[in-house]
Structure 1
Amino acid sequence: MGDQELPGNAPGEAAVRRAFLKRGVAAALAFALPAVHAGGWQGIRQRGSLQVALYQEMPPFHAQGRGIDVDLARALAAQLGLGFSALPFAAGENMGDDLRNAVWKGHYLGWGPADVLLHVPVDAPLMRATPQVRIVAPYYRERVAVAFDRQRLPALESLAALRGQPIAVAGLSLAGWLMLGAEGGLLREQLQTHLPHGVAAAEALQRGEVAAAAGLASELESVLAGDARFALQPLPAPRAPRDGWAVGCAVRKDADELAAALQQGMQSLQASGELQAIFRAHRVEPRL
């Protein structure tokens, strides 16, 4: 990635994460069962279920108990010969908080840790900063993208082409941060930033309320995929991570057998095509 940073390290990180997962810890507790580690891998096998921490309100990966990560967690558990138990939770101030609460220690209010947390950036600096965990089994490569109405904009070689056009983007998101600073702030007055996430931005574009929408590729694809009226491409902003970022599974550092089982299970899902089918069922193109 060179000098490009992951979205978790960008300015305004806490606000971005809270915007994706706006429900508080109290809401998470209403849906979650306490996780109790019972001796590592053997304890998980004796329990008979894999408890998976899932970020709340992050469509299309998880929203109201459904999404890509929910289906993937269930499929991974099946690969391991286990049942599936979800621990939904709201993001903390940073990834370190999430890894502590959901993976290696647990929250001070009494919930967690789970056996595994999905949707964690596969990032060497993050792993060095959090030696209590390991991140394995990458399953998707995310990127920041923009979608636009082909009738209003035949092409989009630079964001300057959007001047004078209404644009939908979640203000407290990586895409929102990039759009606010794009072209020296040229587009600020055109941005509709009141939206909770990129899925809502894509829906505004689909309804014809705006000429373009910016967000994560997965968010935009889940709404607009297959609709020939719209084009979707990487966000042409210099500060956007050029190659995107991979996400995978986080487990405790000492969970050697679980890490190996998850890695093997993910490889099996990919080899069989089940992983790709899960993404496509939610209208998202699988990328690794």
Structure 2
Amino acid sequence: MRFLIAILVLALSWVGTAQARYYDDVIASGVITIGAYKDFPPYSFEQDGVASGVDIEIGRRIAQELGVTMQVHWITPDENLEDDLRNNVWKGHYLDKDTDNPLAMKHLADVMMRVPYDREYSFKRDSLGLLINEHVVLFGPYQREKWQVAFDSKKLDRVGTVAVFQYHPIGVEIDSLPDFYMTSAFAGRMRKNTRHYPNVHQAFLAMTKGKVDAVMGMRAEVDWLLSEAENSQYQLAENGFPMMGKQQWDIGMAVKQTYRELSHAVEGVVDQLVTSGEMDKIYTSYGLRYELPGLYQEIE
């Protein structure tokens, strides 16, 4: 009886846990599951029912080099990155159940894209001194991201400094770093001209309708929106962001901590894309500027 109970407990604990996979399991299955954020152009989104974006294309290249096919695991962002890593890389969300087996969580992403590659974040500890990200490995930096302002040249001659937004309205994504910055920098002098939108796309749309004179968001998002608009009326600003703190950061990937062999294989593919110039071409094909992450800039 005790033996049967033990077997039952083991079985229940197994089906109740989402399964990411070892490298050998990925290769044997012929499929690699790439985790990418949903509705997040130009990084990852669906266009006419087809998965698109730079992160999706990188995922396809990874799959191709490993000799497998790519399956996309769409990620809906939670409250913070720790939640996203837990729900999609190492544990799974308690609501994400398999309809055929209510006890079993769906398969996790084998590799999650667009994770900050930051040593300080990797070794971040909680109030008890425990590692917050002990269950994941952050690896493979493939892009450097920055903040960017775009403006309507019919409303502004140039944006040499963010101080102009004391007098001109600017659109930002609500609860984002640009939102915090524009409402608090320079003793809050830009707060009254800061307009809040659900995302950068909506802020840009507001600019095209004359409701704001500029927008601020991540460089690739702004580049994408400008390329889609195809209107020289909207231009890139060249200003900096005094008192902002971190204005640029590197983007990499994540796997479950126990699957380092998989991370090494994927990292090798991404490294080849970066060093051969193929990564630059992927970004350029979407109308984006590409910048090497810090690791490769140090090598140069």
- Normalising by the smaller structure, the TM-score range is 0.7 to 0.9
Tell me the percent identity: 29
Structure 1 portions without partners, runs of 5+ = 1-33
Give, in whole Å, the separation in 2 of the partners of 1:231 and 1:37: 41
Which is further off, 102-111 or 222-231?
A: 222-231
**AA of the residue aligned to 2:238:** Q
**AA of the residue aligned to 1:250:** A
Q: How far did 1:41 drift?
A: 0.8
SS at match of 2:238: strand
Q: How far did 1:45 drift?
A: 0.5
User: Residues 207 and 66 from structure 1, CA distance in 2 versus in 1: closer, same or farther, beyond 3 angstroms?
Assistant: farther
List aligned pairs for 1:1-288, cutoff 5 A: 36-38=19-21, 40-64=22-46, 65-109=51-95, 110-128=105-123, 129-193=132-196, 195-225=197-227, 228-229=232-233, 230-233=235-238, 235-242=240-247, 244-288=248-292
In 2, are the aligned partners of 1:133 and 1:252 still within 8 Å (CA)?
A: yes
Deviations 1:240-287 (A, max 9, x none): 413x11010101222222111111100122233321122112211111
In 2, are the aligned partners of 1:144 and 1:240 still within 8 Å (CA)?
A: no
User: Residues 51 and 99 from structure 1, CA distance in 2 versus in 1: closer, same or farther, beyond 3 angstroms?
Assistant: same
- 4+ long deviations beyond 3 Å: 34-38, 206-209, 225-229
Give, in whole Å, the separation in 1 of the partners of 2:245 and 2:120: 18
Q: How far did 1:203 drift?
A: 3.5
User: Residues 57 and 235 from structure 1, CA distance in 2 versus in 1: closer, same or farther, beyond 3 angstroms?
Assistant: farther
Give, in whole Å, the separation in 2 of the partners of 1:154 and 1:236: 19
- The aligned residue for residue 10 of structure 1 is none
Q: How far did 1:234 drift?
A: 5.2
Structure 2 portions without partners, runs of 5+ = 1-16, 96-104, 124-131, 293-300
Q: How far did 1:131 drift?
A: 1.6
Give, in whole Å, the separation in 2 of the partners of 1:208 and 1:221: 19
Q: How many residues align?
A: 252
**AA of the residue aligned to 1:249:** M
Q: TM-score scaled by structure 2? A: 0.77
Q: How far did 1:84 drift?
A: 0.2
In 2, are the aligned partners of 1:107 and 1:113 still within 8 Å (CA)?
A: no
Q: TM-score scaled by structure 1? A: 0.80
Which has the larger share of strand? Answer: 2
